[in-house]
Structure 1
Amino acid sequence: MILDVAFPVPLRRTFYYSEPPGAAIQPGTRVLAPFGASRRVGVVVGRLEEKDADLTGFATLKTVEAALDPFPLLGPETMAFCRWMAARWDAPLGSAIGLFTVPGKDFPLPPPEDGGAGILPPPPPEGLDALADSLLDPAAPPGPALIAGLHSRERDAFYAHVLARASAGGQALLLLPDLALAASLIGRLRGLLPEGAITLWHSRLTPKQRREAWTGAWSGRARIVAGTRSALFLPFRNLSFALMDSEEDDLYKQEEQEPRFHTRDALLKLVELRGARAALAGLMPAVESRIKGGHHAAWRPGTLRLLERPALLSDPPPPRVELVNLNATPGVISEPMLAGLREAVAAGGKALLVVNRRGVSLREICAKCGWTKRCRRCEIPMATVPGPGGDGLQFLCKGCGIKDPFNGVCPACGGRLFRDKGVGTQKLAGAARRELPSVPVHVFDGDLVRASLNRTMDALEEFARPGPAILVSTRLALRGHDFPALALAGFADADYDLSPEDFRSSEEVFRMFVAAADCLDPAGPRRLIIQTRQPGHHAFERARQWDPAAFAADEEVSRRTFAYPPFVYLLRINFSSFDRRALDEALRDMDARLEEACGPGSQALGPVERPPAAGRKRLSAYFIVKMPPDSLAGPAGDKVRAMRLPAGVELGLEADPYTFR
């Protein structure tokens, strides 16, 4: 017999090997095989008779050295799931299989366990018992559900109740977008569930912890597993229910390496193959999800059951939203914002100031000649941040982390007057300290998190102590944190995240407002102050009216009119070259052939040229192809890669891209 083996390498093909004499290695089994000049662990994806294999070009076949498992670790559903992922996101099959990481080659597999009777569920939050029943009751309609509007203050108790109930019928999975958020949420869940009820899975586990978690999922011993997106690829023996927290978070999209999957779509396919139930939960779900769940009398494949959180008498009133037009009232902290801060702290309350940019400013520009500092490695403009010990300023590259001193003198013209462009957390915090010198001002951003987790926790704990205080943060503070006595949330530069190139940017901005309102004290004045230079933008106008439903309807009309997800599936095709003539030739040729290659119903837009970075000679451009919504990118990618390109032109494909800036 011939074995078809996939390896976790960036090659879009599998490899034939002879089966060792007397062996009968089944698909889904890990094997050790010679690979080039080395040996690698791969997974058998098929068995063929010699007459059925195309051995053209093979003088002899290498033989698999050994099977590493007594039986397949990846079952038929898992193998089908990997093939679907490879096709959906145009990835090598070996890369998709490699997501199902096995912690080591040689360790004993524990016997299966039935897990007992499950975990005694704590009571659900008041008024949400019917919502829990609609997820788990055997008589509930089929299909995955979308839970909209669940508040952060009731989320912990609701999740604990639902996960414990689900564990009675099998294993339950809780997916979280971010490790920092996972730590705080899981800590609170552990206080609501029996000791040892939750098994963790994330990238910072020790090898021993990873092996224990993996074998717990494999054996069925782990009844509730909570983790980041990689937890989706654990070998659950009996997965009965999966719950995805904050399903709208863009951290669920993997863009660093292949396959560039979205966890939401992958989860829905996996539970479909395994016959499990699933629920996506979000305070304000993604527009794509809401559209899939909003217009169907009955569930059908590809849609969601929309479950709106019921309105309760105990719900807080909507926030009071004020728009500040920075064209008429300029300043890092405008007069209306400053008045709101003074009012909040004078009453003993707290305020949150949000700017989605770290550091002091986006860049320093010489007022005399226009010079701006660029990174010597990345060639991108460098931001300014406080110097060592808080003394002065220094340049920081947000791409690679290089720091350079800033002496206040322009090296191009000798000028000493600089204009700073943009507002960062440090600059905003400095302005708050100058205007309100008696009020403690704390900073919570990515720079602090990377520098020290202890300092991060200290800053949050100090802000939470009784008494007036101000927290300056990026949108990190809006990810599920509970701040007592928060009277005001202000946005210093709400326009920063709006982009005409990104059709999701309005949604991201409005979602920050909804998350900030959820952080406000239910018994407080509940004020949102938004500084903008575009007060007529529909995201700001709907925020002023506080009408999230109308905003979602606006977005749906826009997506349908201009054909954006979920009404289409996007494929970005990138071209780059040092040769302008060769790149132009490739773009002209592709412009006429892409729609045919991507199949019926496809529409190619572009090309769009990206300006080269200063000092860089490589030129680049891309096409966006809009395909029918259930398309698989893999077949289209194979046809595009088969096209002949001029010498010196490189091609790259991104299925379902999320970054457009």
Structure 2
Amino acid sequence: MKIAHVIIDRMARGLDRAWSYVIPEGMDIRVGHRVHVPFGKGETLGIVTAVYEYGTPDSAADVVLKPVLNVVDPVPVLSAVMIELGMWMAEEYLCFPIQAYKAMLPRNIRLRPFSAPTQELCQVVGQRQGRPSKRQQLWDILAERGPLLKEELLREMPEMRQVLRDLVKEGTVVINRVDSASPSFPVVKGHRSPFTLNEEQMHAVTTIVEAAPGSKWLLEGITGSGKTEVYLQIIETIVQQGQQALVLVPEIALTPQTVRRFQSRFGQAVGLWHSSLTDSERAKTWQAVRDGHLAIVVGVRSAIFLPFRDLGLIVLDEEHESTYKQEEHPRYHTRDVAFWLADKTGTKVVLGSATPSLETAFYARQGLIGWIRLTRRIGTRTLPPVEIIDMREELQEGNHSIFSRALQQALTRALDRGEQGILFLNRRGYASFVMCRDCGQAVQCPHCSVTLTYHQDQNKLMCHYCFYTIDPPTACPHCGSRRIRYFGAGTERIVEEVMKLWPGTRVLRADRDTLSSRHSYYQLYDDFVNRRADVLVGTQMIAKGMDFPHVSVVGIVAADVALHLPDFRRSERTFQLLVQASGRTGRGDLPGVVIVQAYEPEHFAIQSAATHGYDDFYNQEIQYRRELGYPPFGNLWLLEVADASEQKAKETIHRIFEKVTGLMEMGIEVLGPAPAPLPKVRGRFRYHVLLKGAKNPRIMAVLSEIERDELSCSITVDPYYML
């Protein structure tokens, strides 16, 4: 007789442990299976985390156990490695194990039994050589690219549905049903690279390919230095060895360009994973990865949990991006999960960036991970010159425009030559806030401690936290004055100003309001790269990774907008954004120029970015972190209480503060309690306590107790957002 340890699907303190059940005779249960088990007076779903022979020390032999009722899926949905990873995440990030396991499973698979469906595979038969036509075009595609899934083929080329039927009818194409549980494709037909690697790139490829399994690397390369080509050539070796590769990108906005580069080299062996996929698409991709049908996946953060059969390489492109940190439970950092997998499975990890996070750069400089630098752009291209404009002087000299005179002149010259420009501003909307000139009160969200942003295209005021929306007031809601004015500038306002200053200019806007689906990302990229627009106005989502060869001017409208946030990473974020945005120009045959506008141009983050000087920035910022004990010199734990009752929130945060004061004897710094920088969000009052120091078992025990006892408290390990 065997015993199964089961984590049940209940998120409640005291229930977040493994429960023991007898496995009935003849029932095939393995680690990673989902099972139905009796619990209390009813039954519940659970995941098997261990299987023991009855009578062994771990099998709870002296207790009368209930039997497992039934197995949900014919095969385990999680591997033994993923089960172990989930347990590590629960301990590391102070979450329920079931939260970690749910993060690993697509919604479709969580909600219904997992099965191995059949799929339709299209392939050519014999030879066909007819006159140029749609039939011949589709036949040639199938002949060149090999067998393709019918669904994927028609998703890529929906206009070919009837053409495919015609080819099947004439007998030159057949469609076979295949069991997706038995790998039958694809043979990875890698196309030869059109690029010749320079000496630095070749060194990077050779070093990482020949490195030991489980090794971790920082690939630090300036913008335009060819990091993606290095990834591609390393992956080519990995897949030729029969292993799989995962390429992570921080934003869905980066996937159109990245996926096309990978698919042009590796064809249908490349899959896509991001939040805009439908439930069905996510489930099918998950299945294809699990069954070995996909050799390469390009995806966002959650792709780290895909069920790879034999994962040989994980790439975190733009590894410095904060989107690699999950802000809801389980609050993991993708880099840390990748490192865990490297240690457990021998997967190699490559962290790529022109502006590495301080933590990663520190690890590399301390020799804790490998470090390879690409110091020059590919070909004869050079980094663009950067001109810093002091907007205080512009105002003093009578220029009240959003744009400095230097930026206006540079963009005018570019447009006159038929070139493109990009303007960055990290604010959506038309105006940052609406204020009364008489009483000085700004129109605030009633549910959040923030001002409402004006969106001209909708003629609405909107909260970007809870999405509360109202019509713009004609009179001040505080004093009744009609002297209502709009202050600050957002992306909408920038678009309006561009069209006013350069009539007839074709302008695209890229922010969270305009890019609401995956198709909008693809359309934006296609329109701009194919020169169907002259100027792209956007937030930071387009400041990274995008390669637009016809851009000769980049204007950063308000470079210091983030320097005044109550966040210890504000200088790092500012530097990274400026360098990444600057890197969007001068990538083709055109020389580029960058205009940086700021009201605090002397700040070291701005000055270092102007010279593309990562080392200069690192040396100053790391000293600041060392003096104050911030990561990488210590851990942070942000304890946040949120409650609809402000009094209850205050009582809870003070009770928590009393529980952590004893940690000060161990050298832990306790900051707070205090209202959060945004003290009210979505109708809930928020209070913070911040712990700072070296991690040890005593701290984790105290935090686990707080997490268990204080239901309104959430704990984030090494938070990326302090607001």
**Is 2:607 the counterpart of 1:541?**
yes
Letter in 2 for 1:65: L
Q: 2-side partners of 1:279 and 1:181: how far apart?
A: 18
The equivalent of 1:263 in structure 2 is: 334
The equivalent of 2:674 in structure 1 is: 608
Could you say if the C-alpha distance between residues 88 and 342 of structure 1 is closer, same or farther in structure 2, counting changes exceeding 3 Å?
same
The equivalent of 2:162 in structure 1 is: none
The equivalent of 2:11 in structure 1 is: 10
Could you say if the C-alpha distance between residues 363 and 309 of structure 1 is closer, same or farther in structure 2, counting changes exceeding 3 Å?
same
The equivalent of 1:355 in structure 2 is: 425
Greater Cα shift, 342-351 or 554-563:
342-351
**Is 2:556 the counterpart of 1:491?**
yes
**Is 2:274 the counterpart of 1:202?**
yes
Q: In 2, are the aligned partners of 1:122 and 1:161 still within 8 Å (CA)?
A: no
Structural mapping, 1:640-651, within 5 Å: 640-641=706-707, 650-651=712-713
Aligned equivalent of 1:274, options 329, 335, 345: 345
TM-score normalised according to structure 2 size: 0.80
Letter in 1 for 2:334: T
Q: 2-side partners of 1:599 and 1:309: how far apart?
A: 46
CA RMSD of aligned residues (A): 3.5
Q: Please state whether the residue corresponding to 1:242 is helix, strand or coil.
A: strand
The equivalent of 1:299 in structure 2 is: none
Letter in 1 for 2:464: K
Q: In 1, are the aligned partners of 2:180 and 2:291 still within 8 Å (CA)?
A: yes
The equivalent of 1:82 in structure 2 is: 86
Q: CA deviation at 1:218?
A: 2.3
Q: CA deviation at 1:659?
A: 0.9
Could you say if the C-alpha distance between residues 449 and 615 of structure 1 is closer, same or farther in structure 2, counting changes exceeding 3 Å?
closer
Greater Cα shift, 622-631 or 259-268:
622-631
The equivalent of 1:659 in structure 2 is: 721
Number of matched pairs: 641
Q: CA deviation at 1:181?
A: 1.8
The equivalent of 2:361 in structure 1 is: 290
Q: Please state whether the residue corresponding to 1:328 is helix, strand or coil.
A: helix
Q: 2-side partners of 1:73 and 1:459: how far apart?
A: 37
Q: CA deviation at 1:656?
A: 2.0
Q: 2-side partners of 1:311 and 1:323: how far apart?
A: 23
Greater Cα shift, 340-349 or 361-370:
340-349
The equivalent of 1:300 in structure 2 is: none
Structural mapping, 1:242-641, within 5 Å: 242-255=314-327, 257-296=328-367, 303-311=368-376, 314-330=379-395, 331=400, 332-375=402-445, 378=448, 380-388=450-458, 393-406=459-472, 408-450=474-516, 460-465=525-530, 469-522=534-587, 523-576=589-642, 590-591=656-657, 593-594=659-660, 596=662, 600-610=666-676, 619-628=685-694, 635-641=701-707
Gaps of 5+ in 2: 117-178
Greater Cα shift, 22-31 or 286-295:
22-31
Could you say if the C-alpha distance between residues 220 and 525 of structure 1 is closer, same or farther in structure 2, counting changes exceeding 3 Å?
closer
Q: 1-side partners of 2:279 and 2:641: how far apart?
A: 40
Q: 2-side partners of 1:120 and 1:456: how far apart?
A: 26
Q: Please state whether the residue corresponding to 1:365 is helix, strand or coil.
A: strand
Q: Please state whether the residue corresponding to 2:393 is helix, strand or coil.
A: coil
Which fold has the larger relative contact order, with Cα–Cα distance below 8 Å and residues 6 or more apart in sequence?
Answer: 1
The equivalent of 2:249 in structure 1 is: 176
The equivalent of 1:19 in structure 2 is: 22
Could you say if the C-alpha distance between residues 417 and 339 of structure 1 is closer, same or farther in structure 2, counting changes exceeding 3 Å?
farther
The equivalent of 1:137 in structure 2 is: 210
Q: 1-side partners of 2:279 and 2:510: how far apart?
A: 31
Could you say if the C-alpha distance between residues 468 and 177 of structure 1 is closer, same or farther in structure 2, counting changes exceeding 3 Å?
closer
Could you say if the C-alpha distance between residues 434 and 6 of structure 1 is closer, same or farther in structure 2, counting changes exceeding 3 Å?
same
Q: CA deviation at 1:455?
A: 6.0
Q: In 1, are the aligned partners of 2:319 and 2:351 still within 8 Å (CA)?
A: yes
Q: 2-side partners of 1:487 and 1:545: how far apart?
A: 18
Q: CA deviation at 1:259?
A: 0.7
Q: CA deviation at 1:261?
A: 0.5
Q: 2-side partners of 1:100 and 1:632: how far apart?
A: 29
Letter in 1 for 2:4: L
Q: In 1, are the aligned partners of 2:447 and 2:683 still within 8 Å (CA)?
A: no
Q: In 1, are the aligned partners of 2:215 and 2:347 still within 8 Å (CA)?
A: no
Q: 1-side partners of 2:666 and 2:524: how far apart?
A: 55
Gaps of 5+ in 1: 297-302
Greater Cα shift, 439-448 or 263-272:
439-448
For residues 570-598 of structure 1, give each alpha carbon's deviation from its aligned partner in whole angstroms, at most 9, with x where no partner exists. Answer: 11112356777776666556545425459
Q: In 1, are the aligned partners of 2:246 and 2:296 still within 8 Å (CA)?
A: yes
Q: CA deviation at 1:146?
A: 1.0
Q: Please state whether the residue corresponding to 2:392 is helix, strand or coil.
A: coil
